[in-house]
Amino acid sequence: MPSTSSTGPALVATFAIVFALGLASCTSKSEPVEDKAAPSTEPVAEKVELPPAPVDFPPMKVPAGNRQSPEKIALGHQLFFDVRMSVDGSRSCYSCHQNEHGNGGETPLAVGAKQKQLTRHSPVIWNTGFFEAFYWGGRAGSLEAQAKGAWGGGNMGVGKENLAAKAAELAQIKGYQQQFKKVFPDEGMTPETIAKAISAYERTLICSDTAYDRYAKGDDNAFTEQQKQGWALFMGKGQCAVCHAPPLFSSAMGVPGGLYYNVGIGTAGRPADEVDIGRAKISEQDADWAAFKVPSLRNVSKSAPYFHDGSVPTLAEAVAVMATGGIDNKNKTPLLADRGMSEEELGAIVAFLGALDCGKLEQPDLPK
């Protein structure tokens, strides 16, 4: 397991170098060619130097045993939206990852089937296929494992030991039976093939056409002036990109095992033994105490409330928490500090984050 403390500084160093190089090359490119004969009509005020905006995503890793196909994806799409997956017909996967809530959760803490109170907030699932560890603490190593976890666990309430029986029950639905025969001819409808189909669908939830992406591809009008200011602050003074590096806006994406930091959420005014210890539950290392996976900030303007416990109701407050150094506790990451930003600067960052809005999941027709 990569430990938070050893990967963090290395990343910062890399980032600092990349950023410095980027700025340097940017400056040299924009150096005006001197033409003394023609006086410039440009305003005298210096333009803000904007950081380079990366646009290309790394390739998404797809497990060899679960190749994508249009039929499989269509099947997963239906299952993701089907409340018949849950123990009591009350919930689908989509119930906690809805468009109205930015495809994260509505309530601060999720409520599972049979009204079971869960302990964490539902994360945004756009671009989730780029992660290599899932959940806030990274306890699932694949989307397939995550899907079975959510389905068998409190979210859908079926129970790990009852998944095979539930799969057999769903196989009574003609439309599923026929599709599974086609997509998984040897296996049919089992907990494994159901999890594979859902994961194949999730790997198609790619958010790559935001205002940010249009700006990064050269459309200068895709950002407002305030968003440009926010973008520069996000990359520069705020040092947000140390952990939320563009274009995915989570440096944990594409990193085997993920990346986890303690920013202090959930630690204030609580005895240590009542704190959600996050990554430490998996790694059993003190360095990971109350550390959580870096979420992507794509779609963040729509996904209130915020953080692993949903404890912060608005984006403005969430940005303020991060920009002022997080919440002090015995294990807070040194990578977060008070960046001394004005209200106006914080507002610009919030405006910039609005340039990361994603699309919507489509409701499929469900088989009978």
Residues that bind ligand HEC (CB under 6 A): 91, 93, 95-97, 105, 110-112, 118, 120-125, 128, 131, 134-136, 143, 146-147, 150-151, 155-156, 198, 202, 238-240, 242-244, 261, 263, 265, 292, 294-295, 297, 300, 303, 306-308, 318-319, 322-323, 333, 335-336, 349
**The token pair that represents 303 in the structure block:** 């996904």
Q: Please identify, using beta-carbon distances, which residue of 183 and 240 lies nearer to ligand HEC.
A: 240
Nearest in space to 296 (alpha carbons), one of 143, 102, 144: 102
Residue 78 or 122: the one with the smaller Cβ distance to ligand HEC is 122
Decide whether 227 or 333 has the Cβ nearer to ligand HEC.
333
User: C-beta of 30: minimal distance to ligand HEC in Å?
Assistant: 26
Q: Please, what is the minimum distance in Å from the beta carbon of residue 33 to ligand HEC?
A: 36
| Least CB distance to ligand HEC at residue 39 (A) | 41
Between 323 and 358, name the residue whose CB sits nearer to ligand HEC: 323
Label residues 299-336 b or e (16+ Cβ within 10 Å = b).
bbbbbbbbbbbbbbeebebbbbbbbebbbebebbbebb
Q: Which is nearer to ligand HEC, 110 or 200 (CB)?
A: 110
Residue 46 corresponds to which amino acid? E
Cβ 365 to ligand HEC shortest distance, Å: 19
* Minimum gap (Å) between residue 320 Cβ and ligand HEC: 9
Closest separation in Å from C-beta 294 to ligand HEC:
5
Question: Tokens 């945004």, residue?
Answer: 124
Comparison of 184 and 260: residue with beta carbon closer to ligand HEC: 260
* Residue 160 burial (10 A CB sphere; 0-12, 13-18, 19+): exposed
Dihedral angle sign, alpha carbons of residues 323, 325, 326, 332: positive
- The residue among 6 and 28 lying less far from ligand HEC, judged by its C-beta, is 6
How many CB atoms sit inside 10 A of residue 286's CB? 11
CA distances from 283 to 148, 194, 271 (A): 21, 29, 21
User: How many angstroms separate the CA atoms of 271 and 312, rounded?
Assistant: 20
Q: Cβ of residue 308: shortest distance to ligand HEC, in angstroms?
A: 4
Place of tokens 């994508």: 68
